[in-house]
C-alpha cells in the first residue's frame, strides 16, 4: 500500500512540475508586429471650425518632432488617411516610457502630445508550433495636458485604425 501511495505522490509531482507555459517553449514562427493606434488630431476653434481648413494654420509650416525624428506637413498628412485637415501622429515611434510629440503650428504656437506605450511579448500556439511577436498598446495620452480618453465609447476610430482627437484651440 505504501508503494502505491508513494507512486501516486511521485506521479503527482511529475505532472505538477511539467510546464504548459508557452513562454518556456522555443519560437517556431513569427507573429506580425502588432502596433498601437496612432492619433489623428483635428484642430478646431470654439465654433468647431477646422483651423487648418480655414487657413488659420498654414499646413506648409506645420511640423512635429519626437526623439530626433521630424515629420513635415507631407508626413503629417499621408494619403492613406481619409480625414482631411488633420495631423497624423504615429505612436509606434515611441518606447515604453513617456513619449512626446512637439507640434509646431506657427512660429509662436507649439503644442505637445504626451503618450505612454505598453510593450509586451506575445506568443500563441497553433498546431503545436509556438509563434512569437511584440505587441505595442497605447496606454495613455494627453494633448496640451488635457487627457485623451482612449476607452470612451464615443472615441472615433477610423479605417486606418487611428483615434480621432478633436482639439479646441482658444485664443
pLDDT at 60: 92
Q: Are 150 and 162 in contact (CB under 8 A)?
A: no
In a domain? residue 150: yes
3-state SS class at 156: strand
pLDDT at 80: 80
pLDDT at 171: 66
Q: 53 is written with which cell numbers? A: 481648413
Q: Calculate the average pLDDT of the chain.
A: 79
Q: Are 65 and 101 in contact (CB under 8 A)?
A: yes
In a domain? residue 76: yes
Look-up of cell digits 499646413: 59
CA dihedral sign of residues 84, 86, 77, 32: negative
129-132: long-range contacts, CB 8 A cutoff, minimum separation 24 = 129/28, 129/29, 130/22, 130/25, 130/26, 130/27, 130/28, 130/29, 131/27, 131/28, 131/29, 131/30, 131/31, 132/27, 132/29, 132/30, 132/31
Residue 160 — pLDDT band, cuts 50, 70, 90? low
Domain of 139 in residue numbering reads as: 24-168
Q: What is the mean pLDDT of residues 85-103?
A: 86
In a domain? residue 17: no
In a domain? residue 16: no
In a domain? residue 128: yes
In a domain? residue 8: no
Q: Percent of the chain, pLDDT > 90?
A: 29
> Rounded to whole angstroms, how far apart are CA atoms 132 and 129?
10
pLDDT for 121-150, tens place per residue?
888 888 888 888 887 778 888 999 988 877
pLDDT for 43-77, tens place per residue?
999 999 999 999 999 999 999 999 888 999 899 98
What's the domain count of the chain? Answer: 1
Q: 55 is written with which cell numbers? A: 487657413
Residue 11 — pLDDT band, cuts 50, 70, 90? very low
Q: What is the mean pLDDT of residues 81-107?
A: 87
Q: Is the pLDDT of residue 16 over 50?
A: no
- What are the backbone angles phi and psi of residue 8, rounded to the nearest 5°? -65, -45
> Rounded to whole angstroms, how far apart are CA atoms 103 and 112?
6
In a domain? residue 18: no
Amino acid at each position: 500500500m505504501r508503494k502505491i501511495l508513494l507512486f501516486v505522490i511521485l506521479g503527482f509531482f511529475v505532472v505538477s512540475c511539467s510546464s504548459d507555459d508557452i513562454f518556456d517553449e522555443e519560437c517556431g514562427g513569427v507573429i506580425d508586429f502588432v502596433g498601437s493606434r496612432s492619433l489623428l488630431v483635428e484642430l478646431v476653434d470654439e465654433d468647431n471650425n477646422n483651423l487648418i481648413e480655414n487657413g488659420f494654420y498654414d499646413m506648409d509650416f506645420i511640423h512635429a518632432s519626437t526623439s530626433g525624428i521630424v515629420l513635415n506637413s507631407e508626413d503629417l498628412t499621408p494619403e492613406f488617411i481619409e480625414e482631411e485637415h488633420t495631423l497624423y501622429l504615429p505612436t509606434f515611434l515611441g518606447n515604453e516610457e513617456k513619449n512626446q510629440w512637439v507640434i509646431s503650428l506657427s512660429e509662436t504656437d507649439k503644442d505637445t502630445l504626451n503618450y505612454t506605450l505598453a510593450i509586451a511579448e506575445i506568443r500563441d500556439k497553433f498546431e503545436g508550433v509556438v509563434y512569437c511577436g511584440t505587441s505595442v498598446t497605447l496606454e495613455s495620452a494627453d494633448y496640451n495636458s488635457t487627457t485623451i480618453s482612449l476607452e470612451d465609447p464615443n472615441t472615433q476610430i477610423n479605417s486606418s485604425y487611428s483615434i480621432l482627437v478633436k482639439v479646441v484651440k482658444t485664443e
